[in-house]
Structures are given as structure tokens and as C-alpha cells.
Copies of this chain bind each other. A is one copy, B any other.
């Protein structure tokens, strides 16, 4: 089924209003959630809406949070999300980073007591309109095994960096620090297909090609896949994301990060509050005149885009190209949803008296 951006945005906004979000917060959250759907990160869009609602029903999401700065210096802050939707807490924190950057040149905000914040790239991109570079990191429920570890100790912990250009579209990197994101496993599961080597290990800690490997107690592997292909690098990067997001702020880290799914209980002995994020904003003119910087970004992007492709490929992509191209299509033609997602949303709508 295909739905328009407006249909899904309105539906999301109404559902979130029903659970008690203010109109303004519901709109912010719907903006973030829908940006995942139009940019092709389907696993982080409306498909997750009922998951957020179930967490609220369990008392693990606060629909009327008092999100606030609890510590600060000229270029830093810690934000307490008060258990609110990450979709609301993250835009607040990113705004703080941007305001800090206006005065100090850069702004860096670590966040505790939050929940899943949607797609990382959306938050980083908020900096672009201010001629700033935006950075967005978050930790997440443990699904990833460090190199040589049988246990899952990290989330897919993404890194997003958005960099403005002049006539070219911006550079937007948004990547999980794993070989493959969980969403890709789900696609293979539905098709009954195996995964490539280097994506998953089984519950004994051995490499597997089973798309059900994680479900059955195994783990996703850090970017690199195995030691020989640099998985210790993906593990190190995922760890940095975890530490910046949670050890700096006072959120839960590593295996203590609360699960996103409502049917799994959080650790009874947490080491912090909720999940953690980390945001950065850097004014480009804190380094050199913005126009000069952006002209060189245009040159950087043009040169990389003009690179001779390898056999069988037609072009070299700039980070952010695929998502931006898909966004243009989906804003026009609508967002295709899986039948299972549509059923889930309709059921949710019925419970709250909202029509999809």
C-alpha cells in the first residue's frame, strides 16, 4: 500500500496527541519519524509508531516530559530528556547545540534519560540551514558483539554528519557502526534468504549466514565483519558513540541500554537513566568564511561525483545522494508500506479512534 507523506504525518500526529503529547511535540516527533520513511530508512519510520506507543503504555515513555539543560559551559551542555520520546528530546538538544555554536563557535550536547530518536541524519541536518556542520550519535539496545565477544554489548550506534555546500546538495553521512543494520536482516528473513558472510554471528559466537541469527540469540557484527577485515574498527567506533552518548551524559551504556521492544524489561540495576545521544554543531565560519568553505565543498563533491566508476557501476555516490533522491520521489509519489505495517497502524488507529 502507498500512503502520502501528509496522510502518514497526520496519522502520526493524531496518535501522539492521543497519548498526551502537546501539539507542538507531536508535530516535531511526526516530522522526525516521517523523514525516515521518505528517506528510505523504513525500519525507523511509522513502522515503529506502535512500538513507541507500547513503551508509553508500559510507563517507559513520558508523553509530557520536562526536557531541560542540567549542566553547561560555553560550548557544552547536558540535557535530561525526562523519559520523553527521543523524537522530541533530540530536536531540543540539537537546538541547544546550535545556539551554543552561534556564540562559542561550536556546541556539543550529551543527552541522558531519552528514548529511541528516529534516524540519526535528521538531527544532524538541522545544522545545515545555519551554515553549520551537524553531528548526531546515539546508543541503542545491545544487539552487537564486539570483536571476539560472544555477548552483545553494543547497539548499532549510528554516526551522522551533515555538511553544507553551496550549489551542490549537502553531504549527509548516516551510518550504523555495524556491517549491516537490523532492518536489512528483516528483509532477508521475509524473503527466506541467507545473509552475506560478516553480518551475523550465532549464539555460540560462530559466524553464520542465517538471517535469523540475531533473533536466535546471536549478534550483529561491527563494521568490518571480522578481525581480518577490520571489525575492531567498527567496534571501536560503536564504543565511542556509546561513551559520548551515555558515559558523558549519565545515561545507560553498553549492555545496560534499555531494550526498544516493550516485551523485554530494562535491566533492574541500571547504570544511568534511559538511553543517550550526543549532538554537535560547528559554525563553518568559526574556521573560514562560510562562502569560501561552501565553494570548496562544491568542488569536493563535484570531483568525487565525477570519479571514473568501477566495472559494472555507473557512478560514484556522495553520502546522502540515495536518501535525497528517494525523498524527492516519495514526497511526490508517496511512501510504500508493507502489509504488516499497514495492519499494525490500522490496529493502532482503531484503538485510539484515529483513521489512517
Q: Does A23 contact B (CB under 8 A)?
A: no
- A108 CA to B110 CA, complexed, in Å: 17
Q: Does A303 contact B (CB under 8 A)?
A: yes
Q: Are A71 and B239 touching (Cβ within 8 A)?
A: no
Q: Are A225 and B229 touching (Cβ within 8 A)?
A: yes
Q: Are B297 and A247 touching (Cβ within 8 A)?
A: yes
A283-320 CB contacts (< 8 Å) to partner B: 283-284, 286-288, 292-293, 296-297, 299-300, 303-304, 307-311, 313, 315-317, 319
Number of A residues, CB within 8 Å of B: 89
Q: Does A74 contact B (CB under 8 A)?
A: yes
Residues of B within 8 A of A177 (CB): 233
User: Which residue of B has the minimal Cβ distance to A148?
Assistant: B313
Give, as a whole number of angstroms, the nearest-CB distance from A119 to chain B.
15
Q: Are A104 and B73 touching (Cβ within 8 A)?
A: yes
Q: Does A25 contact B (CB under 8 A)?
A: no
Given contacts A78-B287, A171-B239, A233-B175, contact A149 B249 (CB under 8 A): no
At the interface with chain B, which of A30-38, A199-207, A332-340, A348-356?
A199-207
Q: Does A341 contact B (CB under 8 A)?
A: no
A184-215 CB contacts (< 8 Å) to partner B: 196, 198-199, 201, 204-206
Residues of B within 8 A of A151 (CB): 307-308
Q: Which of B176, B206, B319 contacts A310 (CB 8 A)?
A: B206
The contact sample of 29 A-B pairs, CB cut-off 8 A, is A73-B104, A74-B105, A76-B287, A104-B105, A108-B282, A108-B286, A146-B307, A146-B316, A147-B317, A148-B310, A149-B307, A150-B309, A163-B243, A173-B237, A173-B239, A173-B240, A175-B236, A175-B237, A199-B229, A204-B311, A205-B308, A205-B309, A205-B310, A236-B319, A243-B300, A247-B293, A247-B300, A248-B284, A250-B292
12 more contacts with CB within 8 A, not counting A198-B229, A223-B223, are A73-B286, A78-B288, A105-B108, A108-B286, A149-B307, A153-B307, A196-B228, A235-B319, A243-B297, A247-B297, A248-B284, A248-B287
The 9 closest A-B pairs by CB, nearest first: A73-B105, A205-B310, A173-B236, A76-B105, A76-B286, A75-B75, A149-B307, A175-B233, A148-B313
